[in-house]
């Protein structure tokens, strides 16, 4: 239950609430707003965008109280959401005691800064889509490397905003230093960025050595990639003895895990001993639409295991109504990160489909020649093994 009265908050109390929201320690009562071009999307697509945004909010343990879709030819230059509508949103948020406004778009730094300035007196905070994804990453990251990668992405994301803050902070100076607060902050962040890069290079080197070691041993390497929540970690677990966290939430995996699978040689004569083949699978972070380049860049070393694998398994949630769009998003990102090796489409969760839906799917995606699997029921695994055996 929301109990704080914001009407008489001091600066310090407000800052505390904002940082609690940032770390997810406060009750999050969220208003989500999605701003679309006037000529954009069918109703269905608009709802899907909202649903994905809702899943992201739920993943962050927030509760969506209100939603709003605005269609405009152009977003407002200053505040992205057009003025009158922003007033209405604030009013609604006050009535419903919402404390966080999430805008499902990627805003310019000065726009998110301006909105936050407007919301501040009401004890509310605004994030854009990237802020939300970063917060989820921050919460889910477990390894030192992924924490560093996220910190780097956050610095890159926040950097342009500091220029806007400069208008406020730049006026103030540390006594006697002759340097403005903005300059001090920029210097500090630049140093931190370079320290993180050095640290991440060490991890990248270790990874590179491991990859070379695997190559020398003649292992076949498979990179498991796909949209978030498609079932990549579940596939990894089912094919190997590895146990990777698989959960019904977005971005459950934020680092790379490597597992080993043994493919028995296919011998016609059972009594002839045939050496099998070891295959190494690497499971990694999932993709999502509108992933900003600074996030992909920060995860380069994690993604390198996939980029440099012999073959890619592009795992797809076959039961997803937005399957076409999501396949395209992942293919586009793979192109962006220059992952050009052979790609096999693995359509997962077929247990969720009726026979007629499955038949329809096969026809629609015949050019991609997908392997149809259910990791829950271990269906389609023979086909995966056959494919890997042919590669050996
Ligand atoms: N019905 C059904 N559900 C599945 C199947 N495979 C995975 N799931 C479910 O899908 C959800 C996501 O699975 P994960 O393996 O965590 O997916 P992921 O692609 O690794 O997700 P991220 O790491 O968050 O990107 C979980 O709730 C799984 O139990 C399947 O074959 N059938
Ligand atoms: Mg996963």
Measured in Å, residue 284 CA sits from the centre of ligand 2 at: 7
The alpha carbon dihedral of 277, 282, 286, 289 has a sign of negative
284 Cβ inside 6 Å of ligand 1: no
Q: Report whether pLDDT(36) > 60.
A: yes
Share of the chain above pLDDT 70, in %: 84
Number of structural domains found in the chain: 3
More confident residue, 125 or 13: 125
The CATH number of the domain holding residue 293 is 3.40.50.300
> Can you tell me the mean pLDDT for 298-326?
90
User: What is the pLDDT confidence band of residue 118, given thresholds at 50, 70 and 90?
Assistant: very high
First to last CA, the chain: 59
- What is the reported pLDDT for 270? 54
326 Cβ inside 6 Å of ligand 1: no
348 Cβ inside 6 Å of ligand 1: yes
The 8-class DSSP code of residue 287 comes to B
44 Cβ inside 6 Å of ligand 1: no
CB-hemisphere CA count at 13 Å for 278? Answer: 11
- What is the reported pLDDT for 64? 83
255 Cα distance to chain centroid: 12
373 Cα distance to chain centroid: 24
Task: Specify the 3-state DSSP secondary structure of 280.
Answer: strand
CB neighbours of residue 31 within 10 Å: 22
Chain segment 148-177, per-residue pLDDT in tens: 988 888 888 877 776 665 555 445 554 555
Is 82 inside a domain boundary? yes
> Can you tell me the mean pLDDT for 17-43?
71
Is 203 inside a domain boundary? no
Q: Do 184 and 258 belong together in one domain?
A: no
Is 207 inside a domain boundary? no
Q: Do 11 and 84 belong together in one domain?
A: yes
Query: Comparing 1-10, 73-82, 119-128, 349-358, which segment has the lowest mean pLDDT?
Result: 1-10
Task: Measure the CA–CA gap between 42 and 271, rounded to whole angstroms.
Answer: 61
Q: Do 69 and 45 belong together in one domain?
A: yes
Task: Specify the 3-state DSSP secondary structure of 317.
Answer: strand
375 Cβ inside 6 Å of ligand 1: yes
Q: Do 193 and 270 belong together in one domain?
A: no
Q: Do 189 and 283 belong together in one domain?
A: no
- What is the reported pLDDT for 50? 87
Which of 228, 233, 246, 249 best tests ligand 1's pocket when mutated (most atoms within 8 Å of CB)?
246
User: What is the pLDDT confidence band of residue 139, given thresholds at 50, 70 and 90?
Assistant: confident
Is 158 inside a domain boundary? yes
- What is the reported pLDDT for 360? 94
Q: Do 108 and 165 belong together in one domain?
A: no
- What is the reported pLDDT for 7? 35
Is 167 inside a domain boundary? yes
Q: Report whether pLDDT(46) > 90.
A: no
Taking the CA of residue 379 as reference, the ligand 1 atom at the shortest distance is 31
- Nearest residue (by CA) to ligand 1, atom 17, is 231
Residue that the structure tokens 């917060």 belong to: 135
Q: Do 236 and 370 belong together in one domain?
A: yes
| Residues with a beta carbon under 5 angstroms from ion ligand 2 | 232-233, 252-253
More confident residue, 298 or 228: 228
More confident residue, 189 or 40: 189
Chain segment 72-100, per-residue pLDDT in tens: 777 888 888 887 889 999 999 999 889 99
Which of 56, 136, 234 best tests ligand 1's pocket when mutated (most atoms within 8 Å of CB)?
234
380 Cβ inside 6 Å of ligand 1: no
Chain segment 201-253, per-residue pLDDT in tens: 999 899 889 888 888 888 889 999 999 999 999 999 999 977 777 778 788 88
Q: Do 323 and 312 belong together in one domain?
A: yes
Measured in Å, residue 304 CA sits from the centre of ligand 1 at: 23
Measured in Å, residue 250 CA sits from the centre of ligand 1 at: 10
Burial class (CB in 10 A: 0-12, 13-18, 19+), 175: exposed
Q: Do 69 and 47 belong together in one domain?
A: yes
Q: Report whether pLDDT(60) > 70.
A: yes
Is 169 inside a domain boundary? yes
Q: Do 376 and 323 belong together in one domain?
A: yes
What six digits make up the tokens of 303?
């993604």
The CATH number of the domain holding residue 103 is 3.40.50.11060
More confident residue, 26 or 58: 58
Measured in Å, residue 322 CA sits from the centre of ligand 2 at: 19
User: What is the pLDDT confidence band of residue 4, given thresholds at 50, 70 and 90?
Assistant: very low
Is 170 inside a domain boundary? yes
Query: Comparing 63-72, 127-136, 145-154, 367-376, which segment has the lowest mean pLDDT?
Result: 63-72
Q: Give the residue numbers spanning the domain of 26.
A: 6-138
Closest Cα partner for 134 from 218, 273, 22, 3? 22
End position of a domain, from candidates 123, 138, 153: 138
72 Cβ inside 6 Å of ligand 1: no
pLDDT averaged over every residue in the chain: 82
DSSP for 180-246 reads BHHHHHHHHHHHHHHHHHHHHHHHHHHHHHHHHHHHHTT-EEEEEEEBTTSSHHHHHHHHSS-----
Q: Do 125 and 62 belong together in one domain?
A: yes
Taking the CA of residue 352 as reference, the ligand 1 atom at the shortest distance is 1
- What is the reported pLDDT for 18? 55
Chain segment 250-289, per-residue pLDDT in tens: 888 877 888 888 887 765 555 555 567 789 999 988 999 8
- What is the reported pLDDT for 10? 47
- What is the reported pLDDT for 2? 30
Measured in Å, residue 80 CA sits from the centre of ligand 1 at: 35
Is 276 inside a domain boundary? yes
Which of 136, 235, 247 best tests ligand 1's pocket when mutated (most atoms within 8 Å of CB)?
247
Q: Do 286 and 308 belong together in one domain?
A: yes
More confident residue, 19 or 77: 77
End position of a domain, from candidates 89, 116, 138: 138
Q: Which ligand is nearest to the CA of 232?
A: 1
Task: Specify the 3-state DSSP secondary structure of 4.
Answer: coil
CB-hemisphere CA count at 13 Å for 391? Answer: 23
247 Cβ inside 6 Å of ligand 1: yes
Burial 218-250 (b: 16+ CB within 10 A, else e): ebbbbbbbbbbbbbbbbbbbbbbebebebeebb
242 Cβ inside 6 Å of ligand 1: no
Burial class (CB in 10 A: 0-12, 13-18, 19+), 187: exposed
Taking the CA of residue 283 as reference, the ligand 1 atom at the shortest distance is 20
């Amino acid at each position: 239950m929301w109990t704080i009265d914001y009407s008489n908050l001091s600066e310090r109390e407000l800052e505390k609430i904002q940082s609690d929201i940032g770390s997810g320690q406060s009750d999050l009562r969220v208003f989500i707003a999605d701003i679309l071009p006037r000529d954009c999307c069918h109703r269905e697509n608009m709802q899907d965008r909202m649903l994905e945004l809702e899943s992201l909010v739920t993943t962050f343990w927030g509760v969506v109280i209100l939603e709003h879709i605005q269609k405009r030819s152009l977003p407002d230059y200053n505040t992205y959401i057009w003025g009158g509508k922003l007033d209405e949103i604030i009013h609604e948020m006050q009535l419903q005691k919402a404390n966080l406004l999430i805008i499902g778009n990627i805003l310019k730094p000065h726009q998110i800064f301006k909105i936050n300035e407007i919301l501040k007196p009401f004890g509310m905070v605004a994030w854009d889509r990237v802020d939300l994804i970063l917060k989820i990453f921050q919460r889910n990251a477990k390894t030192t490397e992924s924490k560093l990668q996220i910190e780097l992405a956050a610095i890159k994301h926040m950097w342009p905003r500091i220029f806007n803050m400069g208008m406020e902070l730049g006026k103030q100076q540390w006594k006697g230093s002759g340097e403005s607060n903005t300059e001090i902050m920029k210097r500090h962040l630049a140093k931190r960025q370079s320290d993180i890069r050095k640290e991440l290079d060490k991890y990248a080197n270790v990874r590179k050595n491991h990859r070379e070691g695997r190559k020398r041993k003649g292992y076949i390497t498979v990179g498991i990639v796909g949209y978030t929540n498609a079932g990549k970690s579940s596939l990894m677990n089912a094919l190997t003895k590895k146990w990777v966290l698989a959960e019904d939430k977005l971005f459950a995996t934020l680092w790379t895990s490597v597992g080993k699978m043994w493919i028995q040689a296919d011998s016609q004569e059972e009594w002839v001993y045939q050496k099998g083949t070891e295959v190494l699978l690497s499971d990694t972070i999932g993709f999502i639409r509108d992933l900003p380049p600074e996030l992909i860049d920060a995860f380069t070393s994690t993604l390198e295991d996939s980029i440099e694998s012999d073959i890619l398994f592009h795992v797809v949630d076959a039961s997803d109504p937005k399957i076409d769009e999501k396949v395209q998003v992942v293919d586009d990102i793979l192109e962006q990160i220059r992952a050009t090796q052979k790609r096999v489409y693995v359509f997962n969760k077929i247990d969720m489909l009726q026979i007629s839906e499955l038949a329809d799917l096969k026809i629609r995606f015949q050019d991609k020649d997908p392997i149809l699997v259910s990791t829950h029921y271990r269906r389609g695994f023979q086909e995966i093994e056959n494919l890997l055996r042919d590669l050996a």
